[in-house]
Chains A and B, each alone.
Chain A
Amino acid sequence: MSLRGRWLTLLAVVLLVAGGTAAYAVAAFQGAKTSQEAESAVDVVRADGLPAEPFVMFRNTAPGQGFGEAATVLLADPSGQRAVSGHSCDRVYAVRHLVSCLRTKNEVPTNFEATTYDGSLKAIESWALPGIPSRTRISPDGLLLASTVFVGGHSYSSAGFSTETVIRSSDGALHANLEDFALIAGGTRIKAPDRNIWGVTFAPGQPDVFYATASSQGKIWLVRGSLRDQTLTEVATGVECPSVSPDGTRIAFKKSMDGTLVGHRNIAVLDIAAGTETVLPEQRSIDDQLEWLDNTTVLYGVPREGSGQDSDIWSLGTDPAAQPALFIEHAWSPAVVRK
């Protein structure tokens, strides 16, 4: 090809590629705008506070207005009308008068923020998060708040990636960074630098105690944490994202069936006193921190097929014969507030 021919070809390629990309971007922009302004796909109402009756708080993933916002339904009628809060949250948790909301802010650069809201859904405190929201829990007494985020730069490579899990007081003051706690597994203290701790769950009636997942060198442990002693002690292996039942006797968790870090995850329940484990008959791979509906039922989010943005909350009895049932459509990140 002649030099002139090459330049003309390049010009054609650039025009074609730039034109195609611009057309795609404009279409995507308009599509996003249309879906944001559309009527919600489900029956919604604007919330003016947390309900007085027992309720479930979750992230509303129904397309249309109110998408991505924290919302509530009454525990007595989970498929009924949902009240959207006006606050966008990627991960949300609630107790009677306190909401913990972790969110992504689309700015330049994209950044992340945690906010607490009171019973009338007014913001109490906000602070910057060092990475992408992953998990949040509030202790049953509403005094402590745990959050896990994915941080860039913790790992060995410059593009590395790991978790940061902190426990704060409900006013947002830093209480403990779990990276600083002593991790004791197999009877010895694990000092490997690739330790990661995530997925805190608080034990009801025991203000000092929490459970979490710890991992190092490809192993995963369930650890029992003590805030006073600043320790994390191995309780079981292969347990990820624990959740303590309301009566404090059992822990529901994700279990990697083939033992690898990226394999299929089932739901299992551990009896704390007896140490026995029951794998529940959910066939889909689960990647969520479980939440207890009551002492015999767990809730969890499952992404919808073929959609990156929509998901449903399912319920499953801890009886080995139980089958999963759809609990709240177009929802994610459930928190059950019973009293």
Chain B
Amino acid sequence: MYISMADRSGGRKDTESDLPAAPGAAFRLSPVIIWLGVVSMMTDISSESVSAILPLYVTGFLGLSTIAFGFIDGINQGASAIVRIAAGWVSDSTGHPKRVAVAGYGLSMLARIGFLFAGGVGAVAAIVTGDRIGKGIRTAPRDALISEAAQPDYLARSFGIHRMLDNIGAAAGPLIAFLVLLAIPQGFSTVFVVSLAFSAIGVAVLVLIVPGRKGPRPRREARTRRPLRGPRLRFPRITWAHLKEQGLGRLMLTAGLLGILTIGDGFIYLILQNRDSFAVQWFPLLFVGTNAAFLLFAVPLGRLADRWGRVPVFLSGHVALLACYLLAALPFGGLGVTLGCLVLLGLFYAATDGVLAALVSQLSAPEKVGTALGTAQTVVALSRMAAASGFGVLWFAVGAGTAMVCVAVLLAAALGAAAILMRGPGRQVIAR
């Protein structure tokens, strides 16, 4: 199934790239994507409900210092970046992305059980680490499953649907946690039990409902089929694969370049908070607001990416980020500016997160899609971490507003460079 998919899209685009767009098959949403979306939704409710109250729990309930929390949070960041590529590679080489995804979701679920017994920094740190490693493991094989189930013409739209469901969970999780605390003061253990419940349902849906890969794995199929074909047929295939790899390399480079100028929502929220009394009180909801915008735009922008081109939408997403920086750098605040920034951030994520996964899937050979997705996630995560520490220095050196304008200017320049970098794969592969 995989091979024929790549053949179809590759063959058509190679030979017909100069012809007007051919009408593709009608969009038909695979139930696999819906169910993977439901799994992500449940898991995100689970993890975000805990994330929202973890600071309160650690400092208020366990009575630990800030520094202890900073320590836990630090683990949080590093742990998941490391395992992503490995998990993608394992899912490719075994040909069982579902099993790897189950391992990842399962590990996060097991970690949540620990919260029912946690009592100190060490225990909380271990649990958080387990959860984040689980997240690192599951993301690449899950996206590989999505790209496998999606029609090639509607790859970005399919990822958009998954990300929409995912973000419904991310927005609902904190609200559920706050509601529990509203009803039961100090009811942290209830939040943990609720979180575990959603996590368990997510794993159950994945194990019971999402189908594993049927039939032989693609690499073996490719190996056995290739030698049977004549050299005339094989030669263009190799060229095509080579071209894809090149495009993938350039995509990674572009993602890294733009990632270095993606400073992290935390800073934007902070600037808003410094100027706007609304934002001070509703600080935890800024995150929820961004997720709400993300989930609203995820599908429309996915559709646009499939129709207009994934590279233009990916780059336009960064234009929204640029606009958000400029809006945040304005010398005045207020509700309008705050909401505007949240909408622009949501647009940015909707135009880049799923679309990048779609681009990576499209540009990588089918038997390497998990590794490629894991690598792309690591490139994005590491470059954004670098961006955040760089911006921290800049913030302190020249002040928040000026720092924001500096990054905006650099991002504008980087967008120009990215447009040139992505011109090759953009023209040949993405245009429909």
Contact = CB atoms under 8 A, between A and B. Distances in A.
Interface residues of A, number: 60
Contact of B69 (A109, A130, A161, A198): A161
Interface in A110-155: 110-111, 128-132, 134, 150-155
Given A159-B51, A287-B64, A153 B208 contact: no
> How many of chain B's residues touch chain A, expressed as a range?
35 or more
A10 B209 contact: yes
A64 to B, nearest CB: 14
Contacts of A6: 208-209
Interface stretch (B155-163, B197-205, B213-221): B197-205
A261 interface: yes
10 contacts: A17-B201, A107-B178, A109-B282, A111-B282, A128-B277, A128-B281, A134-B66, A156-B389, A162-B70, A262-B121
A262 B71 contact: yes
A25 to B, nearest CB: 5
A262 to B, nearest CB: 5
Contacts of B63: 287, 303, 308, 311
B180 A159 contact: no
A129 B60 CA distance: 15
Nearest to A254: B65
A28 B188 CA distance: 10
Contacts of A25: 180, 184, 190, 193-194
Nearest to A309: B186
Contacts of B255: none
A245 interface: no
A196 B178 contact: no
Interface in A146-197: 150-163, 191-196
Q: Is the interface of A mostly helix, strand, loop or mixed?
A: mixed
Nearest to B76: A159
A68 B398 CA distance: 43
A178 to B, nearest CB: 14
The 5 closest A-B pairs by CB, nearest first: A193-B392, A153-B266, A156-B388, A109-B284, A193-B396
B416 interface: no
Given A32-B185, A134-B59, A20 B69 contact: no
A309 B61 contact: yes
B297 interface: no
Given A111-B283, A153-B283, A193-B393, 8 more contacts: A9-B208, A14-B204, A106-B185, A152-B55, A152-B284, A153-B273, A156-B385, A308-B188
A325 interface: no
Contacts of B51: 159
Interface of B: 51-53, 55-56, 59-71, 73, 76-77, 121, 174-175, 178-190, 193-194, 197, 200-201, 204-205, 208-209, 264-267, 269-270, 273, 277, 280-285, 287-288, 385, 388-389, 392-393, 395-397
A132 B55 contact: yes
Contacts of A21: 193-194, 197
A60 interface: no
Contacts of A109: 52, 174-175, 178, 282-285, 288
A107 B385 contact: no
Given A10-B209, A287-B63, A308-B61, A160 B397 contact: no
A261 B64 CA distance: 12
Contacts of A161: 55, 66, 69-70, 73
A150 B66 contact: yes
B73 A28 contact: no
Contacts of B197: 17-18, 20-21
A29 to B, nearest CB: 5
Contacts of B73: 155, 157, 159-161
Contacts of B178: 107-110
Nearest to A148: B66
Nearest to A18: B197
Given A134-B59, A308-B186, A309-B61, A13 B204 contact: yes
Q: Is the interface of B mostly helix, strand, loop or mixed?
A: helix
B324 to A, nearest CB: 14
Contact of B183 (A1, A29, A194): A29
A186 to B, nearest CB: 18
B141 to A, nearest CB: 20
A25 B184 CA distance: 9
A125 to B, nearest CB: 15
A112 to B, nearest CB: 9
B193 A154 contact: no
B344 to A, nearest CB: 16
A243 interface: no
B182 A107 contact: yes
B68 to A, nearest CB: 5
Of A10, A28, A156, A309, most buried by chain B (CB within 10 Å of CB) is A156
Contacts of A32: 184-187
B182 A156 contact: no
B392 A14 contact: no
B65 A287 contact: yes
Contacts of B265: 153, 158
A315 interface: no
Nearest to B192: A24
Nearest to B63: A303
Contacts of A159: 51, 73, 76, 266
Nearest to B121: A262
A69 interface: no
Given A32-B187, A159-B73, A13 B200 contact: yes
B266 A152 contact: yes
B284 A157 contact: no
A215 interface: yes
